[in-house]
Amino acid sequence: MKLFVGLGNPGAKYAGNRHNIGFMAVERIAADHGFGPWRAKFQGLITEGRLGGEKMLLLKPQTFMNRSGQSVAAALQFYKLAPADITVFHDELDLAPGKARVKQGGGHAGHNGLRSLHDHIGDGYGRVRLGIGHPGHKDRVAGYVLHDFAKADAGWLDDLLRGIGDGAPDLAAGDASRFMNAIAQRTAPPRSSKSAPAKPDAPKAPRPPAQAEEPPARPPSALQRLVDRFR
């Protein structure tokens, strides 16, 4: 059994925030792969299902972002999972919007949700970093992540979430490369040529050989005219 965790803040007020892209990711996985209903447990909302051959749990902590580790630690202890069995989906300021990266272990880079996880379960869990871009100055970060995605973001955001849903079974199986490829197929699909390549010119039909012209008729002689009069 493995656990996918989406990070975010609970409640309708925050549902469309950039900070909640982790919630959006696990919600998309649950919807695309027929998981059961979400139910309250471990200070969060949890659902069960399968991804390929793996039995999976999806968790959305409802403790607010900076206390996410409490919910994850409770689920980990109950199911007797190790940190390596957990993959966390979270927003990433240092990636361009629509980009994604898979990482195992490492620091929290100041992310409050990851900081809480480090405090409760250590740093040995996997992460899927979901790019939301940076507002340009650190003083603007709090307002930026707690603001809804712009309407202009709808296209790339939907493509990214679709790719996550497509590749989720590969991620569950431990194949990060195939997971990333599934995302790329949605966010940067191969471009087809807009116009068909020019066809080679058809060979021209050979001209028919020139035919000899008949020489113009000569005018009749005087003798011929006389003969013709008596015919």
CA distance 127 to 12: 25
Q: Give one word for 18, left, alpha or beta, with left for phi > 0 and alpha for psi -120 to 50.
A: alpha
What's the N-to-C CA distance of the chain in angstroms?
A: 120
Q: What is the DSSP letter of 40?
A: E
Percent of residues in the chain assigned helix, strand, coil, to nearest 5:
40, 20, 40
- The DSSP bridge partners found for residue 6 are 89
Task: Answer whether 100's CB lies under 8 Å from 164's CB.
Answer: yes
* Tokens 């035919």 -> residue: 211
CA distance 7 to 71: 11
Give residue 9's identity as a one-letter amino acid code: N
List active site positions.
Answer: 19
